[in-house]
Amino acid sequence: MSVDYSVVYSKRKTVSITVERDRSVVVRAPIGTSAEQIDRFVRQKGFWIYEKTKHKQKYSAGGSAKEFVAGASIPYLGREYRLDVASRSFDGVLFDDKFVISKRWARHASDLFKSWYLEQAKKTILPLVQDYSSKTGAEYNRVRIVDLKYRWGSCTPKNNLNFNWRLIKAPIRVIEYVIVHELAHLLEPNHSQRFWQIVKTQIPDYNRAKQWLKENGELLEEQP
């Protein structure tokens, strides 16, 4: 089968293939790897790539729009909380076992919640990265909480880590799994047996977290 793919070269030791959530195929290869070697590797993985790209797409690009009206359910750390719209004027989002926004700013609710989620993601994810970095021995340079289009997390050839701010809507154990998954890639680039053993040592029930993302990822993608 013919496969369209892009190649990312870095100072890694092995060739690996990633199928993104938009079905694009990315090959990561050591600097100096010939085009023939990469093409041969892709052909060898043809059936695996086919299975991945033809799998039912669970995450729609961009997500659907969330309606922020009184009584709406708002996700946060794996739970749903009621939204109230108050008549009094105040800035931002209030949270205390429910969400409250001011009617004055209700038309800007999407932006308000995106800012709130982003701030909570930083407060939650950054300390967890430090904690699991110490536990795994994986060293990183910088962590960013960003708007990743098709991924929950990523690591760069320079050992920088990126995490999707929408993860803050997921249960804490799912967030921890994504963090450990990316840290494990700093120790083992491929999804090898060693890679999954690193993950399992920190998150023994990681398969449950993976399954949760498969089943609920589209909900996390809702705008904001």
pLDDT for the residue 122: 97
Secondary structure of residue 158 in the 3-state scheme = coil
Least confident of 61-75, 77-91, 94-108, 154-168: 61-75
Domain match, 118 and 203 both: yes
Q: In the structure encoding, which two tokens stand for residue 117, read together?
A: 């989620």
pLDDT value at residue 59: 43
How many separate domains does the chain show?
Answer: 2
Decide if 99 is inside a domain: no
At 75, list the tokens.
């996700």
Q: Do 24 and 119 have their domain in common?
A: no
pLDDT surpasses 70 at 55: no
- C-beta pairs of 68-71 under 8 Å, 24+ apart in sequence: 68/101, 68/106, 68/109, 68/110, 68/113
- Does position 139 have pLDDT exceeding 90, yes or no? yes
- Does this model's pTM top 0.85? My answer is no
- What is the span of the domain harbouring residue 28? 5-53
Statement to judge: residues 41 and 127 lie in one domain: no
